[in-house]
Structure 1
Amino acid sequence: MAIETFNRYERKFLLNKSTAKSIQDKLLNYMEPDEYNRSSEFYTISNLYLDTADDYLIRKSICAPKYKEKLRIRAYGIPEEDELVYVEIKKKFCGLVNKRRTALSLNEAYDFINTGIKPEQKNYINYQVINEIAYMLKIYNAPRAKVYIAYDRKAFFCTDDRNLRITFDVNIRTRRYDLKLESGDYGENLLEDDKVLMEIKTLNAIPYWLSRLLSEYKVYSISFSKYGTEYKRMLLNNYKAKGGKNICSKQFSVQPRLIPQYL
């Protein structure tokens, strides 16, 4: 059974492809490719991010609060309607990321999100997580799919420290239409073609050899969110479409109003 609960810190780095390739080559001295990368250089991850009608979850997230959470449906590749996917809650508190997820068939995931009715018990369903998702659906007043985000990933894990994982995401593409995972992984590019998003995910301190590697290539961590970056780009594009000129998208990162409905 796939891991359903993760606790870790995540550090993100934006690299060019040449630097990413050099780092990957040196990582092989300490790490091994993910099982999904043993048959192909990259594997595809596709996501539907859910949010409220007024985008409360992402507006709160880009304000960088101590606590924030996201809700999404995730698939590996392009799923069929009866294939298993994951419905995930991703929370972050003071830098520590907690991810909880349960497997559902794609049709079960859609039905659950659209109706709020919990699926029947099956051996692949984590009902504790189902209860947590049902709670989120209630307090956030039935959030709906807002954006599709897919990317191609190369990942490595450390045999000496199973909590250490490093991923490289390329070809990040997004769309705000045709919001079905089974419709394909097409969309508009989120970053320039030469950019690679590297993430270091670990529950422990970064090992000395990795710190030296980052220093050697002079790469430094940044604050970056795929959904947050897409959302601010969408706002900027909408502003321009209404006759606006070039502006700083930070002006949109304002404190959102409270959700009006709670338990």
Structure 2
Amino acid sequence: MAQIVFKRHEKKYLLTGEQYQRLMLVLNGVMDMDVYGRHTIRNIYLDTPDYELIRTSIEKPVYKEKVRLRCYGGSIDDSSTVFVEIKKKFESVVYKRRVEMSLETARKYLYYGIEPKEEGQILKEVDYTVKRYGLRPMAYISYERTAYTCQMDRELRVTFDQNILGRLGELDLRVEPYGKCLLPQDMVLMEIKITDAMPVWFSRILADFGIFPVSYSKYGTFYGKYIHPMLMAAIEEENGGYSGRTQYEQGGLICA
């Protein structure tokens, strides 16, 4: 059971179609597309029944964490390789630890509580977090990604995500992507993943194109735009029209 650890800084940017096209004209000369080309990423996010993890994340604490089940590529079946991930962010540093296993093993573990036969430190961390919060599969989010690596610095990675979709039903990676659109079709989410500071030459390119970092979370956006309004509507119905809402806006992009 392979275990993988990442420690890095991640910066996010929302690009218009025009900004994306202009930027790619420059990056194509200094970056290489990875071997997978444009590919699909499917995720099942684990949370508490009342969405405690994502609600906490939206409040922008110094420390936050997420647990998810992820796979890459097209057709998925029980024998496909998937990753159980725990992603932690402390201040501006992202720590991602994940364990590789088959989808069948992951489903038995995360959906039915049947622990894998293999052991390891990362799996113990995941298991502790799952049991501490009482986590269960709560949301499906998929997107199309194209990733690039810098020719001059292989530690610099840039990804572009489009067609970001979220749903609450059919929380099964084997089911083809569909759901609510979480980003306008003419927008692209760019993420820059680096181990140290952003290269000066790259920062200048972004500034010249009017591209600046934003705070954005796919799961956070799904919660704010669709899940939270749905929960508030249910509360209103139970309370005869009074929601008691005090903290979150209904709809719109929620950033985390």
Give CA deviations for 1:210-254 in whole Å, capped at 9, x if unaligned. Answer: 0111011011111000000100112135546858xxxxx99228x
1:13 maps to 13
1:183 maps to 175
CA contact (8 A) 1:15 1:197 kept: yes
**Moved beyond 3 Å, runs of 4+:** 237-243
CA contact (8 A) 2:143 2:165 kept: yes
1:156 aligns with 2:113: no
Q: How does 1:81-120 map to 2 (within 5 A)?
A: 81-120=78-117
Q: Percent identity?
A: 43
- The whole-number CA distance in structure 1 between the counterparts of 2:144 and 2:42 is 9
Instruction: Give unmatched runs, 5+ long, in structure 2.
Output: 238-244, 250-256
CA contact (8 A) 1:85 1:103 kept: yes
Q: Match of 1:251, as an amino acid?
A: Q
1:29 maps to 29
CA contact (8 A) 2:20 2:188 kept: yes
1:221 maps to 213
- The whole-number CA distance in structure 1 between the counterparts of 2:104 and 2:139 is 18
- The whole-number CA distance in structure 2 between the counterparts of 1:221 and 1:250 is 28
Partner of 1:201, secondary structure, is strand
1:140 maps to 133
CA contact (8 A) 1:45 1:150 kept: yes
CA contact (8 A) 1:48 1:181 kept: yes
- The whole-number CA distance in structure 1 between the counterparts of 2:246 and 2:152 is 41
- The whole-number CA distance in structure 1 between the counterparts of 2:131 and 2:247 is 30
Deviation of the 1:174 alpha carbon: 0.8
Partner of 1:46, secondary structure, is strand
Q: What's the RMSD between the two structures over aligned residues?
A: 2.3
Q: 36, 39, 46: which is aligned to 1:50?
A: 46
Instruction: Give unmatched runs, 5+ long, in structure 1.
Output: 244-248, 254-263
Give CA deviations for 1:153-185 in whole Å, capped at 9, x if unaligned. Answer: 111112332221111100001110011010111
**Normalising to structure 2: TM-score of the pair?**
0.87
2:58 maps to 62
Partner of 1:36, secondary structure, is coil
Change (3 A) 1:196 1:250: farther
Give CA deviations for 1:115-159 in whole Å, capped at 9, x if unaligned. Answer: 4443123xxxx7221111111121112x11111000001111123
Q: How does 1:170-249 map to 2 (within 5 A)?
A: 170-233=162-225, 234-239=227-232
Give CA deviations for 1:177-222 in whole Å, capped at 9, x if unaligned. Answer: 0110101111121111101001111011111210111011011111
- The whole-number CA distance in structure 2 between the counterparts of 1:9 and 1:80 is 33
CA contact (8 A) 2:46 2:139 kept: yes
Q: Match of 1:187, as an amino acid?
A: G
Change (3 A) 1:2 1:115: closer
- The whole-number CA distance in structure 2 between the counterparts of 1:116 and 1:94 is 32
**Normalising to structure 1: TM-score of the pair?**
0.85
Q: What is the number of equivalent residue pairs in this alignment?
A: 241
1:252 aligns with 2:254: no
Q: Match of 1:152, as an amino acid?
A: E
